[in-house]
């Protein structure tokens, strides 16, 4: 079988682009095939935790991140009355060798896309190629794509194929055709971005409230966006809702769909109703994941990122785990060559690691802090937080998540590079 490249990457999101950069770093030829006709900066804010930033640092991307993102200084937890529960420093201030970044997802994707084009060449990302199916034999894979009009295109060949095509992965459906819809959490998420003056430290990721009364996350993702020194502020509102009829990740919404529970959240440090009301575009999506599966790898084909392990966006960790996947599989190729054995090594390690994160995000993510305080106070104000929960217990909750997700300070500092 004549091969066009060594590794075919299906999907031009964060996972696919980091994978392309990582393969280029080790001298493995690859090409990214993306279904949309043009890559655009979609979405809202995400956090890149130090374990993910370490990998991006090894790709030489810290200066580019500093140009468009904010180095997160701290993470704070409040009840829905605006009372502080706990605050911990983040990134290098917490003792990590790498920073934590808050960034617009679109800024990150475009940053990665530009890096891929600069390093791999203008033909390294092919758009308007919708994945249909893959066939394989001992020599490699043969992939059928269609164009925007649904017309079949000439087959493309490679040694292996990696599906990085997101939570609604078509590649995954070929190997798990009876899997059905994602697992709905019972929670729906609204999000948006808007300009706002800095609050608290100016680089704080805050989580407030809890599900019965509404949970809110707010953090800045760009600095100095205008002459007044405003930041681009990202917010995420979460409420209990019945199962939706669709699973559109970027569905459009209206303010009245979710505003009422937050209408009186006017805190000393932030006017939440004003923040929500001044937002121009509202997005909505159901909080979904999938049950972990035994394998992502089928011969010369494997899955990576959200296609492999969609998880609840509750630990600021979805994009991070995708980046870790990409770097780990590159390390496997570096050690074993572009072979099925490399895919099996990747599968053995990353399936187990991410399954733990998926289940932890369901049961005990960092916002467990909010749940515990809400339940112990009955949603009422407290006089002294240490009468409700000790600092030791609070830190233990957060440290357990760091250990499972792979960004405990000592472990991260001591482990070898993935690539």
Residues 83 and 385 sit within 8 Å (Cβ to Cβ):
yes
Domain residue ranges of the chain, discontinuous segments joined by +: 5-43+105-180+291-363
11: left (phi over 0), alpha (psi -120 to 50) or beta: left
State residue 43's pLDDT score: 85
Residues contacting residue 109 through CB under 8 Å, at least 6 positions apart = 13, 14, 17, 39, 41, 42, 43
Q: Can you state the angle between helices 368-377 and 391-405, rounded to 10 degrees?
A: 150
- For 17, phi then psi, to 5°, come to -75, -40
Q: What is the C-alpha R_g of the chain?
A: 21
pLDDT digit string (tens) for the chain, length 419 residues: 456 789 999 999 999 999 999 999 999 999 999 999 998 888 899 999 999 999 999 999 999 999 999 999 999 999 999 999 999 999 999 999 999 999 999 999 999 999 999 999 999 999 999 999 999 999 999 999 999 899 999 999 999 999 999 988 999 999 999 998 888 999 999 999 999 999 999 999 999 999 999 999 999 999 999 999 999 999 999 999 998 877 666 788 999 999 999 999 999 999 999 999 999 999 998 898 899 999 999 999 999 999 999 998 877 788 999 999 999 999 999 999 999 999 999 999 999 999 999 988 888 888 899 999 999 999 999 999 999 999 999 999 999 888 888 888 988 999 988 99
- Burial of residue 241, with CB atoms counted within 10 A of its CB: 0-12 exposed, 13-18 middle, 19 or more buried: middle
What is 5-43+105-180+291-363's CATH superfamily?
Answer: FAD/NAD(P)-binding domain (3.50.50.60)
């Amino acid at each position: 079988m004549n091969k066009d490249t060594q590794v075919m990457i299906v999907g031009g999101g964060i996972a696919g682009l980091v994978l392309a950069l990582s393969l280029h770093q080790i001298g493995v030829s690859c090409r990214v095939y993306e279904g949309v006709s043009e890559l655009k900066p979609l979405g809202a804010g995400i956090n890149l935790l130090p374990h993910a930033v370490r990998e991006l640092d090894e790709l030489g991307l810290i200066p580019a991140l500093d140009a468009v993102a904010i180095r997160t200084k701290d993470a704070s937890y409040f009840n829905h009355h605006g009372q502080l529960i706990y605050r911990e420093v983040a990134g290098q201030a917490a003792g990590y060798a790498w920073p934590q970044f808050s960034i617009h997802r679109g800024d990150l994707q475009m940053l990665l896309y530009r890096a891929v084009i600069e390093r791999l060449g203008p033909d390294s990302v092919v758009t308007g190629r919708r994945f249909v199916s893959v066939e394989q034999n001992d020599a490699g894979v043969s992939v059928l794509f269609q164009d925007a009009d649904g017309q079949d295109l000439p087959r493309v060949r490679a040694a292996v194929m990696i599906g990085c095509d997101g939570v609604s992965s078509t590649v995954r459906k070929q190997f798990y055709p009876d899997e059905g819809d994602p697992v709905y959490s019972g929670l729906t998420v609204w999000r948006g971005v808007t300009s706002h003056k800095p609050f608290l430290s100016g680089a704080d990721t805050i989580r407030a409230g809890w599900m019965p009364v509404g949970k809110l996350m707010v953090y800045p993702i760009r600095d100095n966006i205008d002459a007044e020194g405003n930041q681009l502020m990202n917010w995420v509102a979460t409420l209990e809702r019945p199962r939706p009829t669709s699973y559109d990740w970027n569905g459009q919404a209206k303010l009245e769909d979710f505003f009422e529970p937050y209408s009186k959240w006017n805190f000393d440090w932030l006017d939440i109703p004003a923040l929500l009301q001044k937002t121009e575009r509202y997005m909505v999506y159901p909080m979904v994941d999938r049950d972990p599966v035994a394998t992502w790898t089928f011969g010369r084909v494997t899955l990576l990122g959200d296609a492999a392990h969609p998880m609840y966006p509750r630990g600021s960790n979805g994009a991070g785990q995708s980046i870790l996947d990409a770097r780990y599989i590159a390390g496997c190729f570096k050690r074993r060559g572009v072979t099925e054995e490399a895919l099996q090594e990747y599968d053995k390690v990353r399936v187990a690691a991410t399954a733990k994160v998926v289940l932890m995000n369901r049961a005990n993510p960092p916002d467990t802090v909010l749940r515990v305080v809400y339940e112990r106070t009955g949603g009422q104000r407290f006089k002294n937080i240490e009468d409700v929960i000790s600092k030791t217990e609070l830190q233990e909750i957060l440290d357990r998540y760091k250990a499972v997700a792979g960004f405990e300070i000592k472990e991260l500092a001591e482990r070898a590079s993935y690539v």
